[in-house]
Amino acid sequence: ADSGLGVDYYGLAEDLTDAERDLWTTMRRWVDAELIPVAGGYWERAEFPYDLVPKYAQLGVVGDALVGPGIPEMSVTAAGLITMELNRGDGSFATFHGVQAGLAMRSIAFCGSDEQKERWLPAMARLEAIGAFALTEPDHGSDSVALETTARRDGDSYVLNGAKRWIGNGTICDVCVVWARGEDGQVQGFLVEKGTPGYEADVIEGKGSLRAVWNADIRLTDCRVPAENKLPGGRTFKDTARVLSATRAGIAWSALGHATAAYECALSYALQRQQFGKPIASFQLVQEKLVQMLAEVTAMQLFCLRTSRLAEQGRLTDTMASLAKMNATRKARQVLATARDLMGGNGILLEHRVMRHMADIEALHTYEGTESIQTLIIGKQLTGISAFA
Ligand code: FAD
């Protein structure tokens, strides 16, 4: 079941290119050596792992299969494998990476001018510039399409006013992609640079999930950005949605990473833990649980690989991405609950890892569109009837 790459019951590795397989191995080694040993501590202290950023940058893999200056070339599948492995190690660091590459770099790569791409993408790929993506507001999460932050043209600049909530990297970023409503009533994208007066961000304290990545409450008060910082390709909410649709399929890989961690932890624990004079792995009920976990992890792998291959061919639709995200986060939650059960009391201890993943999957279940919202998106496509409002 383990090809040396990790759980691979159906020989997924055979369907990968050499480059994808090598990347998977590199990522797996890095996650085992550098990320897993420190992740629990950062999580418990709710401390952002600044030390890991330059170490991770050395791998040269930040870019999420985007095309643009300074971005390492990789397939969508390779990007998925990176996402999976980072999440197998730690959901917080993986989310930092997801915001950086998946959301912030993607907004610039999809919607930016050539100058904006040249200025930001190479530095962001090297993790020398940190990005954030500010869409959600205190009063608009699932209905972010109704966002209230405004952008008003004033001479050579735009003036932003409003509030944003839950913004990953929002307190530490060099550039924040802010989505605001322009005077034409449409949602538009703006690059707000570090130190811009009128941009104030506070870390949201007290999270019980993804504790080591910092989310911000942001206030924009007459925040003036030069006109050249408007994203020329970010003209309507459709452009924002294009970014989100691409990252949504990535969340399926993230959920797979969490489920893989759960399965690996539970299997090794069940083999080593003795009760009634035998390893608990020898009991039929325990084996049934392990097999169910493997079945879900394997199904998720096939789902994810197919999703990425479709994306590579330009055939992945928004609803296909929604289905992948919805199904994977749902299944990962179940796998994590089973792993926690199999590890008994130790299952609730952070040192045994599963509890951290169990807490972290709750954020994935919600962010980038909740399970219910993904379901309604697919339901609308199936029936032709919108059940949103
Ligand atoms: P709500 O929209 O208030 O939803 C509450 C409940 O109501 C959910 O169960 C939802 O499914 C349900 N619901 C809502 N509408 C309907 C409906 N029509 N039918 C049925 N059920 C419905 N945003 C960013 O812009 N940038 C970020 O970097 C970012 N990072 C995040 C990191 C974390 C850890 C978290 C938790 C969130 C992050 N978000 C970010 C925001 C995230 O995308 C939102 O939390 C998410 O879209 C849900 O919005 P909400 O929290 O306001 O929940």
User: Which tens digits make up the pLDDT trace of 69-110?
Assistant: 999 999 999 999 999 999 999 999 999 999 999 999 999 999
Separation CA 125–CA 297 (nearest Å): 30
Query: How much is the pLDDT for 3?
Result: 54
Q: Are 168 and 215 in contact (CB under 8 A)?
A: yes
CA 215–ligand 1 middle distance (angstroms): 14
Q: What is the mean pLDDT of the chain?
A: 97
How does pLDDT run across 225-272, given as a tens digit for each residue?
A: 999 999 999 999 999 999 999 999 999 999 999 999 999 999 999 999
> What does the CA dihedral 52, 56, 57, 60 come to, rounded to 10 degrees?
180
CB contact set of 313 (below 8 Å; sequence gap of 6+):
none
Residues 96, 215: Cα–Cα separation, whole Å: 10
Per residue in 279-308, pLDDT (tens digit) is: 999 999 999 999 999 999 999 999 999 999
Ligand 1 atom closest to 371 (CA) = 11
Q: Is 179 in the pocket of ligand 1 (CB under 6 A)?
A: no
Candidate of 142, 179, 220, 375 to mutate for ligand 1, largest count of ligand atoms within 8 Å of Cβ? 142
User: Which two structure tokens, joined as six digits, stand for 171?
Assistant: 């307190």
Rounded CA-CA distance 258/3 in Å is: 19
User: What is the C-alpha to C-alpha distance for residues 365 and 254, in angstroms, rounded to an integer?
Assistant: 11
**DSSP string computed for 22-91:** HHHHHHHHHIIIIIHHHHHHHHHHT---TTHHHHHHTT--TTTT--STTPPP--HHHHHHHHHHHHHH-H
Q: In the predicted model, what is the mean pLDDT of residues 23-39?
A: 97
Ligand 1: atom nearest CA of 370 is 11
C-beta 368 within 6 A of ligand 1:
yes
Rounded-to-integer distance, Cα 58 and Cα 149, Å = 37
Q: How far apart are CA 145 and CA 60, in angstroms?
A: 35
Atom of ligand 1 nearest to the CA of 99: 28
- Residue 362 banded pLDDT, cuts 50, 70, 90: very high
Closest CA to 315 of 237, 249, 238, 239: 249
Interval between CA 90 and ligand 1 midpoint (Å): 21
Contact 324/249 with Cβ under 8 angstroms? yes
Q: CA–CA separation, 238 vs 284, rounded Å?
A: 51
Task: Judge contact between 46 and 38, C-beta under 8 A.
Answer: no
- The structure tokens listed for 242 are 């294009």
For ligand 1, is residue 244 a contact (CB within 6 Å)?
no
Average pLDDT over residues 336-357: 97
Tell me the CA–centroid distance for residue 278 and ligand 1, in Å.
45
What is the best residue among 205, 373, 375 to mutate for testing ligand 1's pocket, by most ligand atoms within 8 Å of CB?
A: 373
Q: How confident is the model at residue 116 (pLDDT cuts 50, 70, 90)?
A: very high
Residue 190 DSSP SS3: strand
Question: Is the confidence at residue 4, as pLDDT, over 70?
Answer: no
Kindly tell me if the per-residue pLDDT of 329 is higher than 50.
Answer: yes
35 vs 90: CA distance, rounded Å: 7
- CB atoms near residue 275 (< 10 Å): 11
Distance from Cα 31 to the centre of ligand 1, integer Å: 29
Nearest CA to ligand 1 atom 14: 142
Q: With a 6 A CB cut-off, is 373 part of the ligand 1 pocket?
A: yes
Helix (H) or strand (E) holding 192: strand 187-193
Q: How far is the CA of 216 from the centre of ligand 1 (A)?
A: 15
